[in-house]
Structure 1
Amino acid sequence: MLDILVMLAIWWAPVLVIIGVLALLGKIEVSAPWLVASIAFYAIYVAAVFSRFHIPGFEAAFGETQYNWSGKLLAIATSAVMIIVTVRSSEKLTFADAGLTFRQREGSVGPALIAIALMIAFIIGLQMLANDGATLDTETLLYQATIPGIDEELMFRGLLLLGLSMAVTGRTWNLWGAPVGWAAILVTIIFALGHSIIVSDGQIQTIWIAMIYTAILGWALMWIRLRTGSILLPIIAHNATNFVGQFF
């Protein structure tokens, strides 16, 4: 539990500093209740992922499982419940505000598919440079093709983006058709830090290469989310990138 609290503090500290500086400079307005809610969303999500929860008999199907299926499925369910409660408790919010819509913004699918192709090409290039061989066991392929995209897009480009968009309001930029605000930048920072800074038994480990490539891929996923207005293609892009990367 202490390790998780330390990780949360490390992941959020730079984000809170950036928010504080921008607020002092008058670049943004901050809603304290929504900021606290956003931190709580992520803390609950992380607690679910790292819980000792196990679906009876589920992971036994793979023998000695390599992945945290139960924790991730619990996190998916937890994120879904938090989105429902958040949207239902506000007259102004809709599920589309969290990206939960099949509708894609007009003219967005083509550019999004190009972005997905570039993401896949990027991960293939990284894997070929790493030259660490393919990972083609059934569990790995099944997991990478399904869980990461649903789990992480629902939280990062779904609920957390919604929460921070309400917490931090300010200038929005049009980036190749995608409306990018400060919340999108902050979520991408959290996404990169969460994939690269690990605390275990009080020891802090920073994987710099992971921070760089998850920041790049996280930003690509964020652009697709904002360009299309939905987490549907980000889910597909995320899982496709993870899945294809196992073959190189």
Structure 2
Amino acid sequence: MQIILIKILILLALITPILILSFDWGKKNYKNLLLFLLIYFVWSFFNSPLYEGIFGIDFISSIWNWEGKIFAFIFSILFVFIFRKNISENNFFTLKQNAKSLKYTLSVIVLITLLSATFTFFSEEKYELDFDTLAFRLTMPGLDEEFAFRGLMIAFLLPSLKPAFTVGNLRFGNPAVVVTAFLFGLVHGISFTYNLPIMFDYFAFTYTFIFGLIWGWMLLKSRSIVMPVVSHNLNNFVVTLLTMIK
């Protein structure tokens, strides 16, 4: 339990400078900022062995964290209903798409999937065909992570942060997207156990940070969670399938 809490706090410490620099001190919307932290804690809890150790929940025989992802997804849906007033101006939980964005988002989905597939095809990664893994990669990461990181976290941060993140004359786009993408990258890039020091996977961080930016852009462009979920699951499935059949 301690090791998980330490990781949560370390990641929060790493994103704190960005939050301070981009926080809209005129609005002082602390409540939404606290809700952002709350969904991060809840998501981290269910995406770790901690929840299983406390509740003893393990009803799916798999190497993957089906239970944790399912419970995290359910809690994200509960958050949408409980805090719907807080995200009323940025409620991305709709099937309706911004018609003007459709061709751009679809083009980006095709492009990044092809790029990921090409990179994977020429990589040395090779795994045995496993339908449990394919089913998991096709469904859970996109639903769980996009609902939490893009759908909720960005919705909570938008009213709390400035409309644009700038350092001097440099402009880094929407701070809510940058913060969540940075946190998304850290979650996938940093790992440590009881016996090993903190390990940082530069490739995993960079890869997921860039995709976090892209999916955040899709969310704001389409005004819907649909495209980020589709892109996330499609990309995961194609990449995983290629490592098994090439």
Q: TM-score, normalised by structure 1?
A: 0.85
Give the letter aligned to residue 243 of structure 1.
F
- Cα distance in 2 for partners of 1:134, 1:30 equals 50
Q: Which residue of 1 aligns with 2:114?
A: 121
- C-alpha displacement of 1:136: 2.7
The structure 1 residue matched to 2:92, chosen from 90, 99, 122, is 99
What's the RMSD between the two structures over aligned residues?
2.3
> Cα offset for 1:208?
0.7
Would the aligned equivalents of 1:30 and 1:169 in 2 still touch at CA under 8 Å?
A: no
Find the partner of 1:162 among 148, 151, 155: 155
Provide the rounded CA distance (Å) in 1 between the counterparts of 2:222 and 2:112: 16
Change (3 A) 1:22 1:75: closer
Q: Report the alpha carbon displacement of residue 189 of structure 1 after superposing the two structures with TM.
A: 0.6
Query: Residue type matched to 2:78 in 1?
Result: V
CA distance in 1, matches of 2:130, 2:114: 22
Give the match for residue 138 of structure 2: 145
4+ residue runs over 6 A deviation: none
- Measure the CA separation in 2 of the matches of 1:110 and 1:28: 37
Aligned length in residues = 231
Q: Which structure has greater strand proportion?
A: 1
State the identity as a percent.
25
d(CA) in 1 for partners of 2:231, 2:239? 12
User: Where in structure 2 are the equivalents of 1:159-198 lying within 5 Å?
Assistant: 159-171=152-164, 181-198=174-191
Residue number in structure 2 paired with 1:12 = 12
Work out whether 1:86 is the aligned partner of 2:80. Answer: no
CA shift digits 1:8-36 (9 cap, x unpaired): 1222223211222345xx89854222222
Q: Distance in 2 between matches of 1:28 and 1:197?
A: 34
What aligned pairs does 1:66-81 form with structure 2 within 5 A after superposition? 66-81=63-78
Name the SS for the 2:198 alignment partner. Answer: strand
User: Displacement of 1:125 after TM fit?
Assistant: 2.8
Unaligned 5+ residue runs, structure 1?
Answer: 174-179
The residue that corresponds to 1:2 in the other structure is: 2
In the alignment, what sits opposite 1:214?
A: 208
Could you tell me which of 37, 42, 47 is aligned with 1:44? 42
